[in-house]
């Protein structure tokens, strides 16, 4: 089994920082959205880093890549929810664009890591 420390992955670090920042943003959304869009967005953004951490504990590269697929799916979910939040006026265009840039960088990192792991022999 490969020893992986999820804390060493830049993508995990970036995902944790993004989660923290999005919690601050959702704190300013209307109270009636706390169990709606806010809750959904919070769960999805936390899932990005959480799946990286959980996947890092798996014995094979293929298993790790599988959990990174979940992280990528959560990142796409966050992207969709942020667009909805912008469209209904819960976040402004500048905030949206800034967060989307960071999210797209996380998505690129995930794609890259997934590709590396899936190309390893004896995964």
User: In which band, very low, low, confident or very high, does the pLDDT at 35 lie, cut at 50, 70 and 90?
Assistant: confident
What's the CA gap between 123 and 119, in Å, rounded?
Answer: 8
Number of domains within the chain: 1
Residue 83 lies in a domain: yes
What's the CA gap between 16 and 22, in Å, rounded?
Answer: 10
Q: For residue 110, give the nearest of 75, 61, 83 by alpha carbon.
A: 75
Between the alpha carbon of residue 41 and those of residues 44, 62, 76, 79, the distances in Å are 5, 28, 11, 9
Please check the confidence at residue 5 and state whether its pLDDT lies above 90. yes
The structure tokens 């390893």 sit at 120
Q: Could you tell me the pTM of the whole model?
A: 0.92
Residue 12 lies in a domain: yes
Indicate the SS3 state at residue 51: helix
Q: pLDDT tens digit string along 43-68?
A: 999 999 999 999 999 999 999 999 99
For 74, the domain range is 6-118
Please check the confidence at residue 123 and state whether its pLDDT lies above 50. no
pLDDT-wise least confident of 12-26, 31-45, 46-60: 31-45
Please check the confidence at residue 25 and state whether its pLDDT lies above 80. yes
What's the CA gap between 58 and 52, in Å, rounded?
Answer: 10
CATH of the domain at 79: 1.20.1440.60
User: In which band, very low, low, confident or very high, does the pLDDT at 30 lie, cut at 50, 70 and 90?
Assistant: confident
Residue 123 lies in a domain: no
Residue 1 lies in a domain: no
Please check the confidence at residue 1 and state whether its pLDDT lies above 70. no
């Amino acid at each position: 089994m490969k020893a992986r420390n999820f804390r060493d992955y830049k993508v995990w670090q970036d995902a944790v920082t993004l989660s923290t920042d999005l919690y601050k943003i959702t704190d300013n959304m209307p109270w009636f959205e706390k169990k709606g869009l806010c809750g959904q967005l919070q769960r999805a953004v936390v899932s990005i880093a959480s799946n990286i951490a959980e996947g890092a504990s798996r014995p094979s590269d293929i298993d790790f890549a599988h959990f990174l697929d979940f992280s990528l799916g959560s990142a796409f979910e966050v992207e969709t929810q942020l667009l909805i939040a912008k469209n209904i006026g819960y976040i402004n265009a500048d905030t949206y664009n800034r967060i989307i840039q960071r999210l797209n960088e996380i998505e690129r990192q995930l794609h890259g890591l997934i590709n590396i792991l899936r190309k390893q022999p004896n995964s």
